[in-house]
């Protein structure tokens, strides 16, 4: 009899414990669901579907989001950059032809505009405050299924991604929120419904490795595109190859790195030619910034260096030479 009572008490305790865990799981699930639902509702009126046509009549589609009440829309450069016509569909079904304000293939950001006012703009967040593990929600129009929502977490921060132009995009957010064709250009938002990134790429055939351009980067690019219609970057007119420098030269010349950028071609009348750079020179620093390869040089040659004379240090045979170079705006 006592044994039966003990078993009965144990069974009741296990049942109560299981129920308690079930209640906890339900609370957590409801909190997760509510966060996604709330964020999605907040963003819905700002999401747009984008259809494009090329001169050869080929079409395509993508996503975007309104970020000013007077019709400016953020999306990807690879979605609209080469389009001959751009058609935007709002969540309520209204359709408008859009003008391409400008696009930046190097960062895969573009701005288009429709002639409508008093729109509900998305709230842009601060991507510098994003943390690994936090909720990430992707909203877009994959395969034309408008306003599709996927959710996951921020998997990593500070990634670099090679753009279609060949340059590296820095400070990219990695997430496992599923992206599909047509999601490109849509927003990645946090649990508060603030945009933290612009969805741009998925790694195939991997599962759950997707990328978004950090919104702080996108904001800077967008403002320049609205102001100038393009992004200005410095140009010096060389072709280069990333190389390793022999260790005995690194030690002898007290270099900071074993890597550099070998010049393999120089354009006529370019800043590099005027500076006296020669084929075979290895660029090791620019304005006292170490150059390990072409990506480092690209990072340096921003708008602020256009027209500014700086020191470029090259390794020529076994000697270091300081030359003066003045970049021009890239055409």
Q: Which of 47-51, 135-139, 159-163, 287-291 has the lowest mean pLDDT?
A: 159-163
Give the C-alpha separation, 236 to 329, whole Å.
9
Q: What percent of the chain has pLDDT over 90?
A: 68
The CATH 2.30.42.10 domain(s) of the chain lie at 234-329
From 49, 78, 103, 285, the catalytic residue? 78
The CATH 2.40.10.120 domain(s) of the chain lie at 1-231
User: Please, where are the H alpha helices in the chain?
Assistant: 2-43, 77-80, 215-228, 247-252, 271-275, 294-300
pLDDT of residue 141: 78
Write the pLDDT tens digit of every residue in 112-131. 999 999 999 999 999 999 99
Q: Work out the average pLDDT over 138-166.
A: 84
Q: Which of 162, 156, 111 is nearest to 136 (CA)?
A: 156
Residue identified by tokens 């005027």 is 274
Write the pLDDT tens digit of every residue in 154-183. 999 988 888 888 888 888 999 999 887 778
| Contact status, residue 193 vs residue 42, Cβ threshold 8 Å | yes
Residue 331 pLDDT more than 80?
A: no
The phi and psi torsions of 27 (rounded to 5 degrees) equal: -60, -45
Q: What percent of the chain has pLDDT over 70?
A: 89
Please give the sequence-ordered ranges of beta strands (E in DSSP) within 124-214, or none if there are none.
135-140, 148-162, 168-175, 187-189, 195-202, 210-214
Q: Work out the average pLDDT over 48-53.
A: 93
pLDDT of residue 5: 44
7 pLDDT tier (thresholds 50, 70, 90): very low
| 78 assigned to active site | yes
Q: According to the CATH classification, is domain 234-329 in 2.30.42.10?
A: yes
> In the numeric block, which tokens belong to residue 192?
């508060």
Q: Does 248 or 22 have the greater pLDDT score? A: 248
Q: What is the three-class DSSP state of 57?
A: coil
pLDDT of residue 2: 45
Give the C-alpha separation, 174 to 103, whole Å.
22
Options 2.40.10.120, 1.25.40.10, 3.40.630.10, 3.30.930.10; CATH of 1-231: 2.40.10.120
Q: How many CA atoms lie within 13 A of 299 on its CB side?
A: 16
Q: How many CA atoms lie within 13 A of 71 on its CB side?
A: 15
Give the C-alpha separation, 209 to 328, whole Å.
38
Give, as one character, the DSSP assignment of residue 276: T
What is the overall mean pLDDT for the chain?
88
Which residues lie below 8 Å from residue 18, measured CB to CB, with a gap of 6+? Answer: none
Give the C-alpha separation, 290 to 300, whole Å.
10
pLDDT of residue 209: 87
Q: Which of 127-131, 140-144, 210-214 has the lowest mean pLDDT?
A: 140-144
| Contact status, residue 276 vs residue 322, Cβ threshold 8 Å | no
Q: pTM for this one?
A: 0.79
From 184, 270, 281, 285, the catalytic residue? 184
Give the C-alpha separation, 162 to 33, whole Å.
34
pLDDT of residue 56: 79
Q: Work out the average pLDDT over 99-122.
A: 95
| Contact status, residue 295 vs residue 286, Cβ threshold 8 Å | no
| 184 assigned to active site | yes
Write the pLDDT tens digit of every residue in 11-40. 555 555 555 555 566 665 688 888 999 999
| Contact status, residue 304 vs residue 327, Cβ threshold 8 Å | no
Give the alpha-carbon dihedral of 41, 221, 172, 49, to 10 degrees.
40
Residue 210 pLDDT more than 70?
A: yes
Q: Which of 223, 219, 237, 227 is nearest to 275 (CA)?
A: 237
CA angle in degrees (0–180, nearest 5) for 102-40-170:
45
From 51, 104, 106, 108, the catalytic residue? 108
């Amino acid at each position: 009899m006592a044994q039966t009572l003990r078993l009965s008490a144990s069974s009741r305790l296990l049942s109560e414990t299981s129920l308690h865990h079930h209640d906890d799981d339900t609370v957590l699930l409801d909190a997760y669901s509510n966060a996604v639902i709330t964020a999605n509702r907040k963003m819905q009126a700002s999401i747009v579907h984008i259809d494009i046509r090329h001169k050869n009549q080929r079409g395509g589609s993508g996503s975007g989001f309104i970020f000013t009440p007077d019709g400016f829309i953020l999306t990807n450069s690879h979605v609209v950059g080469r389009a001959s016509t751009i058609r935007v569909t709002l969540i309520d079904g209204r359709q408008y032809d859009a003008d391409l304000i400008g696009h930046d293939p190097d960062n895969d950001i573009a701005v288009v505009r429709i002639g409508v006012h008093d729109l509900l703009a998305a709230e842009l967040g601060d991507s510098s405050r994003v943390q690994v593990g936090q909720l990430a929600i992707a909203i877009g129009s994959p395969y034309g299924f408008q306003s599709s929502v996927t959710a996951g977490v921020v998997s990593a921060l500070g990634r670099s991604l090679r753009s279609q132009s060949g340059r590296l995009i820095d400070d990219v957010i990695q997430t496992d929120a599923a992206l599909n064709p047509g999601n490109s250009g849509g927003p990645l938002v946090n649990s508060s419904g603030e945009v933290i990134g612009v969805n741009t790429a998925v790694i195939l055939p991997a599962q759950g490795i997707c990328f978004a351009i950090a919104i702080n980067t996108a904001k800077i690019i967008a403002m320049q595109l609205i102001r100038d219609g393009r992004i200005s970057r410095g140009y010096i007119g060389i072709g280069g190859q990333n190389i390793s420098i022999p260790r005995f030269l690194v030690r002898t010349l007290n270099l900071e790195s074993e890597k550099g950028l070998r010049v393999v071609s120089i354009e006529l009348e370019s800043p590099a030619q005027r500076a006296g750079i020669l084929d075979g020179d290895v660029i090791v620093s620019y304005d006292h910034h170490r150059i390990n390869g072409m990506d480092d040089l690209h990072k340096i040659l921003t708008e602020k260096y256009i027209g500014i004379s700086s020191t470029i240090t090259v390794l020529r045979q076994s000697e270091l030479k300081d030359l003066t170079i003045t970049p021009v705006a890239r055409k």
